[in-house]
Amino acid sequence: MVWWNVLMPVIEVTDLVKNYGDVEAVRGVSFSVEAGEVFAVLGPNGAGKSTIVEILEGHRSKSSGAVSVLGHDPGLAERSYRERIGIVLQDPAVEGQLTVEEVINVYGSMYPRRRKTGDLIELVGLEEKTHARIKTLSGGQKRRLELALGIVGDPELIFLDEPTTGFDPSARRQAWSIIDNLTSLGKTVLLTTHYMDEAQHLADRVAVIADGRIVATGTPETLGGRDTARTVITFHLDLQTVEGFPVAEMARLDSGLVTVKSDNPTRDLHLITGWALDHDVELAGLKVARPSLEDVYLELTGGDNHV
Amino acid sequence: MSERPSNRSLLQIQSAYQLRMFFRSPMAAFFTLFFPLMIFLVFSLVFGNSTSGVTGVTAAQYYAPAMAVFAAVSATYTNLAVTTAYQRDLGILKRVRGTPLPSSIYMVAKIVAATLIAALAVGIMMTIGVVFYGVQIFAATILSATVTFGVGVATFAALGLLVAAVSSSGEAATSITNATLLPLAFFSGIFIIPTADTPSWIETFSRIFPLKHFVEPFVAAFNPETVGAGWDWASILYMSLWGVVAVILAIRYFKWSPPQGREVRRRGRQSASVDT
Ligand SMILES: Nc1ncnc2c1ncn2[C@@H]1O[C@H](COP(=O)(O)OP(=O)(O)OP(=O)(O)O)[C@@H](O)[C@H]1O
Ligand SMILES: [Mg+2]
């Protein structure tokens, strides 16, 4: 690794804006990604994830703001830049008439450094399809091939736009281990996803984006104040028995479901269960939980309309 | 850091890859290689060895080179326009654009492959003409025929890429090439041998477009009455002019990403299948 790699962020985005005619798809986004980091962009459909990623890849132009990737301006589409990046697009593009092996060979031949075709096929688990025409592959297999094509040039930085959409659970695990493997080689990864568990598993840092703006950034553990957020106690209760309830000021009642947000769960839980025993009430479905990344995400993106 | 692949090896690999894709697309191969051949066989059967038209040669001696030009134009103009536009719809051009492959090499490889296919089509046509229909080939005009073929193929390849550049989709490119090539083929004397009775407006009209300037000198090169080496520099230059303008406009208007509507439509289909 050369010294400036250590000193400079791999990706630096400042006040990025993108308009499509009247549509403001990206409205002033800033973030930076360090070398060796896995950075996830999370957000609902139409939030602007692909727009941001494709500007960084050099596929789209920006309306305003500054973007620097590996010291390059992606908008110039320089060969030396594209030799250092790998791209997995959201929509798989297939040359249906060719075989898996042929396509990997052709794309590999474009790069100065390249990974061996056989190794790649094994890495993405397509050994049995080595000589199959691509049009005969299933949707998930095509996306695995895309993943192979994204890393065939042994890139320093990999862009993954929803890399595991359409994967079955075991293929998703496999893709995760490929990405883990890339990071252990010191590669930098920028990925977008809708899946909370994916962000949680893979990302060092997450940016949640909604409606073209970043609404939160942080590690998966601290995102949206998740680490300091109040514990949530929930249970079911009949309406007529609420009298004398100890922590009423923190409780919310919604069609029989009581939700208590507590800063002091040990004490509050003790009070609640004590009250229940005194009144001989059963706290049906009692649950104590910290907000999941999914809860935080839904709150941040304001969307029950999403999931 | 290892070596960058050389332009030469990139061009070789890319041309081979384009060729392979062509030969694995039965429809494209059929319409380019066999369709013109079939027309030639039918015309030779119907018109036999009767001499007709102003050229005064047998039907086969006229139709073999004329249909060879038609095949060459299908291999370049139609084929490049349609496959390139479809590849853009599929997102393949976009993916290529994201690699370090210089776009010029990608485009030249497409043209090289199309030229080789055109040469193959012409070769098949002329060979069958010579072997089965007594078509004559003249040493004196071989060179001018070859140069006319080269310039014609380059021009129509450029025009094909221009159609791909301005088409909104693969379907649109198909319509545009059919709607232009077929009528022009009639007017330019590919299907109908020009005679003294041919209306002069057809003659005037067809001379505006490059196809006439490809067919006429190429057919003349196989006419026993042609004197000298058969050079028609005016036609060659006029075709080149079309080619140069086409290249400039194609570069100006070329798009690599799929049109937005299509991307959304494909995405809709994809997520629909994911949800179920
Ligand atoms: N080429 C385009 N022309 C016009 N509008 C566009 C274009 N591309 C994207 N948009 C709009 O910009 C917004 C952001 O789109 P984008 O594709 O970046 O979202 P996304 O976060 O990637 O969504 P998804 O999760 O569905 O992939 C959307 O409202 C979309 O309709
Ligand atoms: Mg997207």
pLDDT per residue as tens digits for the range B80-130? 999 999 999 999 999 999 999 999 999 999 999 999 999 999 999 999 999
Residues with Cβ within 8 Å of A244's Cβ and at least 6 positions away in sequence, in order, are A275, A279
Instruction: Ligand 1, residue B271: give the atom nearest the CA.
Output: 26
Please state whether beta strands A23-33 and A157-161 pair in parallel, antiparallel, or not at all (unpaired): unpaired
Question: Does B271 have pLDDT greater than 60?
Answer: no
pLDDT above 70 (res A107): yes
Atom of ligand 1 lying closest to residue A49 CA: 21
State the Cα–Cα distance between residues B117 and A250, nearest whole angstrom.
Answer: 78
Hey, whose CA ends up nearest to atom 9 of ligand 1?
A51
Q: Which ligand is nearest to the CA of A18?
A: 1
For the Cβ of A61 lying below 6 angstroms from any atom of ligand 1, the answer is no
Query: pLDDT (tens digit, 9 = 90+) per residue, A182-201?
Result: 888 889 999 999 888 898 89
For B64, the 3-state DSSP assignment is helix
Cβ-nearest to A97 among B21, B95, B267: B21
Nearest partner of B266 among A222, A291, A166, judged by Cα? A166
Q: Which residue has the tokens 């073209």?
A: A212
pLDDT exceeds 80 at position A301? no
CA B201 to chain centre: 26
Domain boundaries, chain B: 7-275
Name the burial class of residue A133, with classes exposed (0-12), middle (13-18) and buried (19+) by CB atoms within 10 angstroms of its CB.
middle
- Indicate the residue of A20, A87, A106 with minimum beta-carbon distance to B17: A106
pLDDT digits (tens, 9 = 90+) for B24-55: 988 888 888 889 999 998 888 887 666 655 55
Is the pTM value of this prediction over 0.90?
no
- Order of strands across the sheet that contains A284-289: A251-254, A257-262, A231-236, A284-289
Which pairs from A75-82 meet CB under 8 Å and 24+ separation?
A: A77/B97, A79/B100, A79/B102, A80/B100, A82/A58, A82/B98, A82/B99, A82/B100
Angle at B104 (CA atoms; ends B100, B110), nearest 5 degrees: 105
Distance from CA of B150 to the nearest CA of A (A): 28
Ligand 1 atom index nearest CA of A26: 14
Alpha helices in A95-138 (DSSP H): 100-108, 117-123
| Closest partner CB to A110 (pick from B5, B270, B271) | B5
Which residues of chain A are at the B interface, by a Cβ-Cβ cutoff of 8 Å?
20, 57-60, 77, 79-80, 82-83, 85, 87, 89-95, 97-98, 102, 106-107, 109-113, 139, 149, 153, 165-166
Instruction: Report the first-to-last Cα separation within chain B, whole angstroms.
Output: 46
pLDDT averaged over chain B?
A: 87
Chain A partners within 8 Å of B97 (Cβ): 59, 77
B4 and A166 within 8 Å at the Cβ level: the answer is no
Q: Are strands A188-193 and A38-42 parallel, antiparallel or unpaired?
A: parallel
* pLDDT value at residue A242: 67
Residue for token digits 């060179």?
B143
Evaluate whether B104 touches B250 at the Cβ level (below 8 Å). no
As a whole number of angstroms, the distance between CA B170 and CA B8 comes to: 30
Query: What are the pLDDT digits (tens) for A122-170?
Result: 988 899 999 999 999 988 888 889 999 999 999 999 999 998 887 888 8
In angstroms, the CA B128 to CA B130 distance is 5
DSSP SS3 for A23: strand
What are the residues facing A13 on neighbouring strands? A31, A67
Q: Is the CB of A48 under 6 A from ligand 1?
A: yes
> Once rounded to an integer, what is the mean pLDDT over residues B15-25?
94
Do the chains contact at A89 and B99, CB–CB below 8 Å?
no
A66 CA to middle of ligand 1, Å? 20
Cβ proximity of A147 and A88 under 8 Å:
yes
Pick from B17, B21, B263: CB nearest A91: B263
Q: How many angstroms separate the alpha carbon of residue A191 from the centre of ligand 2?
A: 11
